[in-house]
Amino acid sequence: MTEVVIAGIGQTQVGEHWEISLRDLALNAIQAAHKDSGGLKPQALFVGNMLAPNLSNQAHLGALIADYAGLTGIEAITVEAAGASGGAALRQAYLAIASGMVDVALVVGVEKFTDKIGSEVEEAIASTSDSDFEAVQGLTATAQAALLMKRYMYENEVTANGFANFALTAHANGVANKNAMFRKAIKSETYAKAEMVSDQLNMFDVAPIADGTAALVLTRRDLLPSDYQNQLVKIAGSAASSDTLALHDRKDMLYFDTAQISAGKAMKQAGIILDQINFFEYHDAFSIYAALSLEAVGFAIKGCGWKLAENHEISLKGKIPCATMGGMKARGFPGGAAGVYQAVEAVTQLRGQAGANQIANAKYGLIQSLGGPASTAVSHILQRLD
Amino acid sequence: MTEVVIAGIGQTQVGEHWEISLRDLALNAIQAAHKDSGGLKPQALFVGNMLAPNLSNQAHLGALIADYAGLTGIEAITVEAAGASGGAALRQAYLAIASGMVDVALVVGVEKFTDKIGSEVEEAIASTSDSDFEAVQGLTATAQAALLMKRYMYENEVTANGFANFALTAHANGVANKNAMFRKAIKSETYAKAEMVSDQLNMFDVAPIADGTAALVLTRRDLLPSDYQNQLVKIAGSAASSDTLALHDRKDMLYFDTAQISAGKAMKQAGIILDQINFFEYHDAFSIYAALSLEAVGFAIKGCGWKLAENHEISLKGKIPCATMGGMKARGFPGGAAGVYQAVEAVTQLRGQAGANQIANAKYGLIQSLGGPASTAVSHILQRLD
């Protein structure tokens, strides 16, 4: 089987980038990834984007960004799967390389959320839920996650403070990440006193929607130049799965089937078991998502994901470090770019370039990009090649 | 190399479907394609859609449609490349099968344009052009095509009537296609007297935007059951290319580079030359696009594409039959579904099931899906296997 490797990474700081356009933003990450790859020339561009047609009045990003990046002529598309758009774009690039039809592929995740006001953004995000049965009732993604968290607390007899360490860990890890939106550690008391966003989610249970871009250069291992300088990172497993958009259509809304299925397939392809995974970049758009993801992948039994946080098992020196560069909570959640940031961060870990946040001897990282409440999940296992 | 075949096709009539939702519409084509394939079970869904997040307030179509079609759990994404979304979705499905990671893939193109009023649709379509430099000036896709046609007429000394046969041929071919939106032949005098939409485009130079859906089941040839009944149609070539969104950024706005590049690559992969192509499903959203596509692919020299129409060479018995089932002009232009309709129609021809519109001994068909004025082009060569 073809060995697909990530040969270049690029990213910008997540934040409020009112001063820069969508295409300029994307260009920053592309140029960084191109340079990092040693100048490999892409033949295909996969853009992960969630809401630019709505929020930036700009569809057709593939051709637009390819041209703007000086890559006029290459094939280019936008891949959309709500919040999982970044992971989905990575998977399409992976499939393109694996097919043997494309030698070098560029993935760029890009999103601008802050050009519009909050209510417009919430409404646009609601279009990624079931419009006819959920959004039409006024159910925003945040309100839905709040209901999910309440149900989880009721069924598992957890208090809201049981979720505190998801935020504390993310913020602690964000401090040393210069691309993180928030670089300030928070304390338990801060979490406990935080204002409620939507009962039972407080402001530290919700990742900030923001602007950002990240990029990857993928190629086949055997095509790398002999003087290739970067530590090799292979995509050892890649899989995706879908579920109902509407939560009411699920047998058990407190179990993320797609997270389980896609992670399981990716691990099987990589030929590894759960214990071999050194860190997990989960999709912590809401702390309840983090808990449910840990359970679905198998790091905790059902109803006990929050305990991994409470017992500090998700910290950098814990059993399964999560959100190692700040996660969506502290690095920020730039929609369709989020899944690409996860990959960039995982490569940083596997290359041993994560600085103060470095996981010792990291060989396998699991990254997982979710769309809605795991209506889509895309999982990848990245592996350091020795 | 893996042989990727189209094992099932499905479509609905293109038209104004106010009475049916986006998901129900897609379901119709999926069920038809599933049945036609003999019940093959897809593992992946590729949705070609252009503007649902804008026009139907519904993004995240992959998971939504997968679930609605009873395929909950499979991987599913939306592929967007403006008007080329359908062709681009087909290409992603092709790459997925070619990679060996997916055995059976479902492609569905779906679009609902008529739920909104015309000006809203024009504005949404304008978001697929360069928003910062074109759409912001009020330049709609139709107005842009009109300017392109005027320039073409000036440079090549053609009158507007030189384009008449693009519409006449399409409408003649639509008569026998029960899935076509318009099934009435038109005469030269009707074309000559038609009202102007945007000088120099009259109403017969513009394909009608409409609602529709079409679907394909793709698989590897070696995976087909021994009792497979359909005439085999192989995807012999697949390629895509991108160009600037804005016309003013091009060296020559009257040459569709991407149409040339993608068709050339697809032919090279298929191992055929132009003369072996038995019919061409071009992207006749505007008659000027049809002329420029014929030139870019090589059926006519630059400036002479219109002559193929004038000399009836694009009719069913001509040198290179085009729009054999009515094309976008008469079958209708349902955005992201258009490229999938082309594939369904080409398979119908290659299976010998095109009835009154059958091209004798058709072995190779070229289908080409464009986004904007060929800012994206996706070309496929479909081949009848004997």
Do A270 and A242 reside in the same domain of the chain?
yes
| Token pair listed for A49 | 């984007």
| Token pair listed for A158 | 């957890």
Amino acid residing at A201: L
Do A82 and A152 reside in the same domain of the chain?
no
Do B17 and B93 reside in the same domain of the chain?
yes
| Token pair listed for B97 | 């099968």
> Does A245 reside within a domain?
yes
CB pairs under 8 A between A and B: 214
> Does B198 reside within a domain?
yes
Q: Of the candidates A191, A223, A255, which is a domain's last residue?
A: A223
Cβ atoms of A253 and A330 within 8 Å: the answer is no
pLDDT < 70 positions in chain A: 1
CATH number where B318 lies: 3.40.47.10
Out of B88, B102, B124, closest to residue A77 by CB: B88
Yes or no, beta carbons of B63 and A242 under 8 Å apart: yes
Q: Spell out the long-range contacts of A348-352 with Cβ–Cβ below 8 A and sequence spacing 24 or more.
A: A348/A9, A349/A278, A349/A279, A349/A324, A349/A325, A350/A231, A350/A233, A350/A382, A350/A383, A350/A384, A351/A230, A351/A231, A351/A233, A351/A384, A352/A231
A45 close to B (CB below 8 A):
yes
Cα distance between residue B21 and residue B112, in whole Å? 8
Do A359 and A311 reside in the same domain of the chain?
yes
Out of B67, B75, B95, closest to residue A240 by CB: B75
Using alpha carbons only, how large is chain A's radius of gyration in Å? Answer: 19
> Does B229 reside within a domain?
no
| Token pair listed for B331 | 């079958």
Cα dihedral sign, A297-A299-A301-A303: negative
Instruction: Give the distance, in angstroms, between the CA of residue A178 and the centroid of all CA atoms in the same chain.
Output: 17
Pairing of strands B4-11, B233-242: antiparallel
Q: Which domain holds residue A33?
A: 4-117+209-223
Instruction: Give the distance, in angstroms, between the CA of residue A93 and the centroid of all CA atoms in the same chain.
Output: 16
A241 chain-B contacts, CB cut-off 8 A: 73-75
Do B13 and B78 reside in the same domain of the chain?
yes
Q: List, for residues A98-150, the tens digit of each pLDDT value.
A: 999 999 999 999 999 999 988 899 999 999 999 999 999 989 999 999 999 99
Average pLDDT of each block of 10 consecutive residues along chain B (386 residues)?
93 96 97 97 98 95 98 98 98 98 98 92 93 91 96 97 98 98 97 96 97 98 91 97 95 97 98 98 98 98 98 98 98 98 98 98 98 98 96
- 3-state SS record for A95-162: HHHHCCCCCEEEEEEEECCCCCCHHHHHHHHHCCCCCCCCHHHCCCHHHHHHHHHHHHHHHHCCCHHH
pLDDT of residue B226: 87
Contacts of B336 (CB under 8 A, 6+ apart): B47, B48, B49, B50, B51, B80, B83, B85, B86, B89, B109, B110, B111
Amino acid residing at A167: A
Contacts of B320 (CB under 8 A, 6+ apart): B277, B279, B280, B294, B299, B308, B313, B314
Q: Of the candidates B191, B223, B255, which is a domain's last residue?
A: B223
Nearest CA distance, B61 vs chain A (angstrom): 7
Q: Of the candidates A193, A223, A253, which is a domain's last residue?
A: A223
Pairing of strands A376-384, A364-371: antiparallel
Do B267 and B350 reside in the same domain of the chain?
yes
Element holding B261 (H helix, E strand): helix B257-270
Yes or no, beta carbons of A101 and B101 under 8 Å apart: no
Residue A195 buriedness (CB in 10 A; 0-12 / 13-18 / 19+): exposed
Per DSSP, the residues of B86-122 read HHHHHHHHHHHHHTTS-SEEEEEEEE--TTS-HHHHH
Yes or no, beta carbons of B100 and A128 under 8 Å apart: no
Closest to B341 measured CA to CA, from B22, B89, B56, B17: B89
B70 close to A (CB below 8 A):
no
Counted domains in chain B: 2
Do B46 and B152 reside in the same domain of the chain?
no
B100 close to A (CB below 8 A):
yes
Yes or no, beta carbons of B241 and A75 under 8 Å apart: yes
Q: What angle do CA A166, A169, A173 make, to 5 degrees?
A: 140
**DSSP symbol at A251:** S
**DSSP symbol at B214:** E
pLDDT of residue B227: 86
Q: What is the ipTM metric for this complex?
A: 0.98
Do B216 and B245 reside in the same domain of the chain?
no
pLDDT of residue A118: 87
pTM: 0.98
**DSSP symbol at A319:** S
A74 chain-B contacts, CB cut-off 8 A: 241-242
Do B201 and B71 reside in the same domain of the chain?
no
B135 chain-A contacts, CB cut-off 8 A: 57
Instruction: Give percent of chain A above pLDDT 90.
Output: 95
Cα distance between residue B191 and residue B53, in whole Å? 35
Nearest CA distance, B358 vs chain A (angstrom): 32
Cα distance between residue A278 and residue A273, in whole Å? 11
